[in-house]
Amino acid sequence: MSKNSASNSQKQNETLQRILARAKGLSFYADRYKDIDITSVSANDLSALPFTTREDLVNHFKANEPDGGFLQEDIVQMHLTPAPDIGKMPEYLTSWDLAQQATASAEQFSQCNIGSSDRCLVVFSYHMLAGGWLFHEGLTKLGATVLALGPTDAETIIEIAKQHNFNVLVSNPSFAKKIGEAGGKFETLLAAGEPFSAVPNYKEDVESLLGCTAYDAYGLSETGVVAAQTVSGDGMAILDSSCILEVLDEQTLEPVADGEKGEIVVTSLTREGMPILRFRTGDLTLKDSKDGKIILPRGVFGRTDSMVKLKGVKFYPKELLFILAATPGINFRSYQVVCSHNASGTDHVVLRLEGEAGTDTTELAQRIRSATGIGMNEIRIEEKVEGDLVVDERF
């Protein structure tokens, strides 16, 4: 292990112990951790900690309204995020959280060649949600000039950018595309909040429209940004000072090997006010590594929900959304996978797509096989596709 790696590991462990000590005193974690010796838990081995899900948090807030026991005296910032059953779930941060978050984000942005000479226009929301703040704090930490514009129309953004020489746009990808289509130009795009680099050709199209270099980022409102692209071009790198990230088999909950798909599990190192520990995101990624560190070469490209085994291979139907999005003549949001057995007893898979009659699916079939490892036996283009995402007629 190099000196830098050893130093990073020590910092992660110190931060983790601080957060675990706080967690044991909070009602959400008290029973979960009562028999756990937190001093035995390290950044390299989190196995003693139980997993947490968003459903767990929502149920806790529902039973312990309104603050779930997280609203301590040192909480200085609060966000709200949509949540089933309770409408909006609170998220709480201390001053320490904000400082940790800003430092981690600043480190990421500096690796996108952003510095004190840049002028950054942030069009994420600054109201209830955490979006705008996650970028704002890191950019100001770098010394960049930041305008907290928030959501508005593309024409206003273009006018302000031209008048005040903003060269960096901070936006979700779909809105950035609209700005580019309206004539907006920026040197750099920092994007997050939606599928972007995982969708074939999407990032390149947006870069062409804006005349920019775009960097994709992945995070959650509960955790902040945890992985992002940099100038290295290796995919999304994990922000070590922001989190400990695991990629696990969603059934066995064991780590997957390089080259395999799995669920992202995040332990945040920037959340002591509302600790997020071994948080199962439900997000699907492909794991790889470089210099002993996890990287996500394809970013995040689907959900683990509805996983089925086809032809001996794990198949994630929601991954198709990202592949179909780049296919002309297809309504990529309306499709269905029908699984059955053929005469020989082997799996037979039909992909029903809503789209224009006569659409050529030859290239699409090749891309699906390349991305998923499964060949569709048939791809049907239909006027309307409705019903469940997966229809499994095998059993």
What CATH number does the domain located at 95-303 have? 3.40.50.12780
Distance CA 15, CA 359 (A): 54
Q: Under a CB-based contact definition with an 8 Å cutoff, are residues 61 and 90 in contact?
A: yes
* Cα-based angle 251, 255, 260 (whole degrees, multiple of 5): 85
Q: Under a CB-based contact definition with an 8 Å cutoff, are residues 316 and 369 in contact?
A: no
Domain positions in the chain: 95-303, 308-392
Alpha helices in the chain (DSSP H): 3-24, 27-33, 54-63, 95-110, 131-141, 154-164, 173-181, 202-210, 320-324, 362-372
Q: Which two tokens stand for residue 76?
A: 């200085």
- Do 95-303 and 308-392 show the same overall fold? no
pLDDT (tens place) for every residue of the chain, 395 residues total: 556 666 788 999 999 999 999 999 999 999 999 999 999 999 999 999 999 999 999 999 999 999 999 999 999 999 999 887 898 999 999 999 999 999 999 999 999 999 999 999 999 988 888 989 999 999 999 999 999 999 999 999 999 999 999 999 999 998 999 999 999 999 999 999 888 898 888 899 999 999 999 999 999 989 999 999 999 888 999 999 999 999 999 999 999 999 999 999 999 999 999 999 999 999 999 999 998 899 999 999 888 888 888 888 888 898 898 889 888 899 999 999 999 988 777 889 999 999 999 999 999 999 999 888 899 999 999 999 999 999 999 86
Count of other CB atoms within 10 angstroms of residue 246: 21
Q: Which two tokens stand for residue 294?
A: 């996890």
Residue type at position 301: F
Q: Which CATH class is domain 308-392?
A: alpha beta
| Peptide bond preceding 66 in cis form (omega within 30 of 0) | yes
